Amino acid sequence: MYVVEVIEPKTLKKKENICCFMCQLEYPKEEYKILRENKKLIYFKWDTKDCDFTVLSNLTLCHECLFKMIKKIHPNEETKVKVLTEEYEYDLSFDPDATLDEDEEEGNEDDISGFFG
């Protein structure tokens, strides 16, 4: 099981930007706050010290890259992911067959409201 933590805008310093390690999607704190409140974007902190797929110890990933990375690591198997927020822990099952590849994207890919519960 992988454990990721939601990065809330209020945990960032006043003038700090947040950037996805993989796609380099970067926003200042205030813009990320607006996107997060409107359920358009979530950044995660992934402590990868105990994972065997990288030598990095911490990754900051946007929600899209998190799902892409998990799919790359486990392309043919369901993967358990624990998502930590300030108030809750969510145990999720990530099914790579249930996600769309870039070539298959349909509909409104900006709407991730289902992930917010």
- Report the alpha-carbon distance of residue 57 to residue 37 in Å, rounded: 28
pLDDT tens-digit series, residues 6-34: 999 999 999 999 999 999 999 999 999 99
In a domain, 71, yes or no: yes
**How many percent of the chain have pLDDT more than 70?**
79
Q: How many helices (H) and strands (E) does the chain have?
A: 2, 7
In a domain, 49, yes or no: yes
Number of domains forming the structure of the chain: 1
Residue 62 pLDDT: 96
Its domain, for residue 55, covers 2-102
Residue 108 pLDDT: 46
In a domain, 110, yes or no: no
The yes-or-no verdict on residue 66 having pLDDT over 50 is: yes
Is the overall model pTM greater than 0.95, yes or no? no
- Side-chain-side CA neighbours of 61 within 13 Å: the count stands at 19
In a domain, 36, yes or no: yes
